[in-house]
Amino acid sequence: MKKIGLKEIAEHVGVSAALVSYVLNGQAVEKQVNKETAERIELAAAQLNYRPNNIARSLKTKKSHTIGLVVADINYRFSTGITRAIEEEAKKHNYTVIYGSSNERTDKFAELINVFLNRRVDGLIIVPVENCENQILLLQRYEIPFVLVDRNFPGIKTNYIALDNFKASYTATNYLIDKGHKNICFVNYETTLYHLHERNRGFKVALKENGIKYKPGCLLEIPNDNRDEIYSNVKIAMDKMFKSKTPFDALFFATDTLASNGLKYLNELNIKVPDVLSVMSFDQSDAFELFYCSITHSRQPLEEMGKQAVNTLVELMDNMKVSKQVSLEADLIIGQSCKEV
């Protein structure tokens, strides 16, 4: 039997071999191949029994029983926790998870999406990065089943499982206020990401509702364009706080990474927590275990987030009409890093 190649499929469909290559290598979305043409090429490949690396079987069944997972940075506690939860739940549905880390880079994010589509995953679970809206819209345009986790874009209606970041930040700020703190400094990234803006909003609303004036310098935003410079940027921001006319008595970090770097700098300055300064973190870090007192923090429900992400994606792969937007609540874990004033 004559071996079927790209040329034979191209002749059968009436398109170029390059177009066939794009589609069969999972680059239809990236190369913006017409959806109808892509479907005709896939159908022809199956009918002609095209077999590069056993892809023909998945072309016929339309199932590879794999899920692609894109996380922001695999080194973070959140990423390892959500990955573990997703893998465990996916296994119950007989799916294997393959994953990669975007390292918060838009180009790496797009590259991972294309790699997963090339592997013919049945669906995607995605922690999106900043400025990746066009990639998300392309996935929608080509009806690729996907669910966003942790982050979402309010201007794009998608399926997502995320945290109620506003409420978590609001609750944590109120905890500090209830402890007697009225001069709280909130440290966050300078970013367009919606979930981090919601943390800013929760902080500001809590201050306003408690009659605390929003003072200049009580929100410090550090650059987020170079992960290797986080510590130096945190130091610069905290130095601004120490030089401010406002005598800040509490520090609230918007992420665990910011908190870890902030605590490192406080140690360097020999500033005692909570004797001199109360400290709150939005999330937990493994580095906290090395600190001399337990850190009060908001804890995200990673197991529930992962479980709901997988179940939503499975529903979506069976029925593209599924629409689910879920906002989960965080728990406030009380440590020893915040004192009464």
Nearest to 109 by CA among 138, 76, 89: 138
Query: What is the pLDDT, as a whole number, of residue 340?
Result: 93
Cα dihedral sign, 221-78-300-281: negative
Query: What is the pLDDT, as a whole number, of residue 48?
Result: 84
Query: What is the pLDDT, as a whole number, of residue 22?
Result: 86
CA distance 121 to 123: 6
Check whether 53 has a pLDDT greater than 60.
no
- 94 vs 321, more confident: 94
Check whether 79 has a pLDDT greater than 80.
yes
Bond prior to 274 in cis (omega within 30° of 0)? yes
6-60 and 165-299 have identical folds: no
pLDDT confidence band for 287 (50 / 70 / 90): confident
Query: What is the pLDDT, as a whole number, of residue 158?
Result: 94
Average of pLDDT values for 263-287? Answer: 95
Instruction: Name residues whose C-beta falls within 8 Å of residue 26's C-beta, 6 or more positions apart in sequence.
Output: 114, 115, 116, 117, 118, 119, 120
Check whether 59 has a pLDDT greater than 50.
no
Residue 339 to residues 265, 274, 330: CA-CA distances in angstroms? Answer: 20, 6, 22
Check whether 266 has a pLDDT greater than 70.
yes
The domains of the chain are located at: 6-60, 64-163+302-330, 165-299
pLDDT confidence band for 24 (50 / 70 / 90): confident
Query: What is the pLDDT, as a whole number, of residue 55?
Result: 44
106 burial level (CB within 10 Å; 0-12, 13-18, 19+) = middle
CATH topology of domain 6-60: 434 Repressor (Amino-terminal Domain) (1.10.260)
**Residues of the chain with pLDDT > 90: what percent?**
67
Check whether 261 has a pLDDT greater than 90.
yes
Which CATH number describes the domain made up of 165-299? 3.40.50.2300
Query: What is the pLDDT, as a whole number, of residue 2?
Result: 61
Domain 64-163+302-330 in this protein, CATH class: alpha beta
- The pTM of this model reads 0.81
Q: Tell me: the pLDDT tens digits for 116-164?
A: 988 889 999 999 999 999 999 989 988 889 999 999 999 999 999 999 9
CA distance 242 to 31: 51
Check whether 75 has a pLDDT greater than 90.
no
